[in-house]
Structure 1
Amino acid sequence: MRLSNLADYAVVIMAAAARAGDGARLSANMVADETGIPLPTTQKLLQRLAQAGLFLSARGGGGGFILTRTPADISLADIVEAVEGPIAMTACVEEGRHDCALEGACQVRPHWGAVNGAIRASLSGVSLATLAGAA
Structure 2
Amino acid sequence: MRLTSFTDYGLRMLMRLASAPDRAFSTADLAEEFQLSRNHLIKIMQRLGRAGLVQTRRGGGGGATLAHAPEEIRLGDVVRVLEEGQALVECFQPNSGDCTIDGCCRLKTRLRVAEMAFIENLNRSTLADVALPAPEPV
Q: TM-score, normalised by structure 1?
A: 0.78
Specify whether residues 111 and 124 from structure 1 end up closer, same or farther in structure 2 by C-alpha distance, changes over 3 A only. same
Equivalent residue, structure 1, for 2:8 = 8
Any unmatched runs of 5+ in structure 1? none
Residue aligning to 1:34: 33
Cα displacement string for residues 105-132 of structure 1 (whole angstroms, at most 9, x for unaligned residues): 1223343332222111112223211221
Structure-2 residue corresponding to 1:106: 105
Deviations 1:6-65 (A, max 9, x none): 2111111111111123x3222111222333333222222212211221111222335322
Instruction: Report percent identity of matched pairs.
Output: 30
Deviation at 1:86, TM superposition (A): 6.3
Deviation, structure 1 residue 82: 2.5
- Corresponding letter in the other structure for 2:48: L
The 3 A distance-change label for structure 1 pair 90 and 110 is same
Residue correspondence of structure 1 range 30-109 to structure 2 within 5 A:
30-85=29-84, 89-91=88-90, 99=97, 100-109=99-108
Structure 2 letter corresponding to 1:2: R
TM score, norm. by length of structure 2:
0.76
Cα 1:114–1:102 change in 2 (3 A) is same
Q: CA RMSD in A?
A: 2.5
